[in-house]
Structure 1
């Protein structure tokens, strides 16, 4: 007599189904499946639609977070939640509604609003996760990376490769908020992460407020590499990319376009990528970072890419479409573009809501991972590939 006994502790559960492409449902097939369950085996023919879809189907979903709501909750947390050991940082992560409540914006990317009260220090630590800070408003905080005090001001992008000591201090009488981006979900999934706490307080010699960090004085000179620099660790040695230079680059691209010389990625759409001055590559091994400016009335062509990205509206207003979702956005709003979801942006910015009269978007993505694995693919609507 044939028995159909499943191993009690087996997480494998197989169900014979009468469906196209599946074997006929028979007692012999049921017995075979019970044997697979006992030996912790899963046949490909029952999983191929999920494991090998015709195109990426991300568990993450398009979603928008309003900056006004995020900042208000961060302010309340500033009154209630301490920033010392235990929490380490007063950082509040975006949780994509498709990822089961985990603090992940996408399967590979973390994004959070961090809030520091007047006179506060965020204690020193280091981790293997690659990270950056981006300031959409305010100033007055200095991040201290390996003893180098780096000012943080509106529009500044501050990358920091993994396993570098870092702390923050607020030198003013006003609170300040910014966004953090890290590859926490990627390192969590790949089980590669390390973390080490440092000093509870930074020293007086580091509690300074220079206009430029030591890294900027050495590396922030376009096209010039210091001959004193020897072999460098992965990740950019430049700890601050100031908004004034990003703004000028984007404005010059649009000006060149208006003069008939090109320079934009498409009509009305200027874009730059932050790069490592030592290599010309991405600023971080696992994260690509860009700034985009869309002139008023211009609309970007819908585009799909493998890998995911997070955007923050730096300035202006407009309409964003991600997959089947469309939102009106304003300064500070954050949104997610999952893998292979179509993305486009239309600028409705003007002189009343934008310094440049355009829609400025800050974007970070996991593109370096996909390119390193030769899994990168991009498709613009109306083309094939």
Structure 2
């Protein structure tokens, strides 16, 4: 069998490339000859830079995503309805409902690189085991009674806990409580989808009786959960954190101590009235996940943060308290559980209106995750305070 050589003069399908001459500054003067040149570009699937440079090389990032706010009570209500109607099992895998940014064409993406969802598990349910290359975490804004099982290690999930899980680790969940539980999931699904790097694999349909145990501390926490102390038997660096649960009690104490030190006249806060901590990998002190940065912020009542814009996008969830959030030209009042998106290079400022009546700490507490490690590794990250 011989290869057939295409006839260069044969009719060609309509080109996906469309080049148009425009009578505009810095563009060539329209003419029949220019039109013919552009038609030939289309035939050969060529795009001249001079017609596209404004979109390809803008003076600053122009995110496809929009600032947007999702109300926690609405998410929780709809997740509860899904709990009554949608089973958990093979195929769907998880009862997870993703946030879809209104400017991303209906895709289940919070931002072009970040995926965020509310996940809901009914009493006695198991979410089956699987693994994927996407880096993931769980953050609990309310409730308890669910254990995530990572590498056959049951890990408790309670209010305020942050639970990272680097890619390609087997994991399942089980609800040992008598009531449903919801939490948020964050993953780098859009980033891996766009870069065509993702893998997924089914695991066991059922976890063992031993994995249905409900220990107060996982094996990972017993080994790695001692501040400033590292097992000498495990000195190799890992790309994702081996500590599978960062307890709220420790996070809360760290934030409180920063504000107390500020009140005593010592350094420690990010800016006046604004404490912040970053979850880090105990094997290398870098971000807890290779593509996702995670932090907790505490903003004292009456404090307004300086407007900041950054390369890369973020998703925030209000953990406690009330306040006013401004992202670009959008501004919202927020309360516990509400989630909002900060697109790349959109300025963000937050005013705390929290009190003892709506916050255990008396401040506005926010959980944040971002795609910053990606831009750090590529030397593309920038941050600017705009006042």
Pairing 1:146-185 to 2, within 5 Å after superposition = 146-185=151-190
| CA deviation vs aligned residue, 1:112-136 (integer Å, no higher than 9, x gap) | 0000000000000000000000000
The 3-state SS of whatever aligns with 1:206 is: helix
Pair 1:85-2:90 in alignment:
yes
Q: Give the conservation status (yes or no) of the 8 Å contact 1:135–1:179.
A: yes
Task: Give the drift of 1:262.
Answer: 2.1
Match of 1:23 in 2: 28
Task: Give the drift of 1:177.
Answer: 0.1
Task: Give the drift of 1:7.
Answer: 4.3
Pairing 1:147-226 to 2, within 5 Å after superposition = 147-226=152-231
Between the aligned partners of 2:130 and 2:349, the Cα distance in structure 1 is 38
Pair 1:328-2:333 in alignment:
yes
Q: Give the conservation status (yes or no) of the 8 Å contact 2:238–2:283.
A: no
Match of 2:140 in 1: 135
Match for residue 117 of structure 1 among 105, 122, 129: 122
Instruction: Give the alignment's TM-score, normalised by structure 1.
Output: 0.97
| CA deviation vs aligned residue, 1:247-278 (integer Å, no higher than 9, x gap) | 00000000000111121011000000000011
Task: Give the drift of 1:9.
Answer: 3.1
Pairing 1:1-385 to 2, within 5 Å after superposition = 7-382=12-387
Task: Give the drift of 1:309.
Answer: 0.3
CA 1:338–1:6: 2 relative to 1, 3 Å: farther
Q: Give the conservation status (yes or no) of the 8 Å contact 1:313–1:332.
A: yes
Between the aligned partners of 1:224 and 1:378, the Cα distance in structure 2 is 32
Instruction: Give the alignment's TM-score, normalised by structure 2.
Output: 0.97
Between the aligned partners of 1:257 and 1:88, the Cα distance in structure 2 is 46
Between the aligned partners of 2:25 and 2:88, the Cα distance in structure 1 is 57
Task: Give the drift of 1:10.
Answer: 1.3
Between the aligned partners of 1:331 and 1:238, the Cα distance in structure 2 is 26
Between the aligned partners of 1:46 and 1:6, the Cα distance in structure 2 is 26
Task: Give the drift of 1:380.
Answer: 0.1
Q: Give the conservation status (yes or no) of the 8 Å contact 1:6–1:38.
A: no
Gaps of 5+ in 1: none
Task: Give the drift of 1:109.
Answer: 0.2
The 3-state SS of whatever aligns with 2:288 is: coil
Aligned residues: 378
Between the aligned partners of 1:231 and 1:349, the Cα distance in structure 2 is 43
| CA deviation vs aligned residue, 1:323-376 (integer Å, no higher than 9, x gap) | 000000000000000000000100000011000000001000000000000000
| CA deviation vs aligned residue, 1:8-50 (integer Å, no higher than 9, x gap) | 3310011111001110000110000001000000000000000
Q: Give the conservation status (yes or no) of the 8 Å contact 1:22–1:46.
A: yes
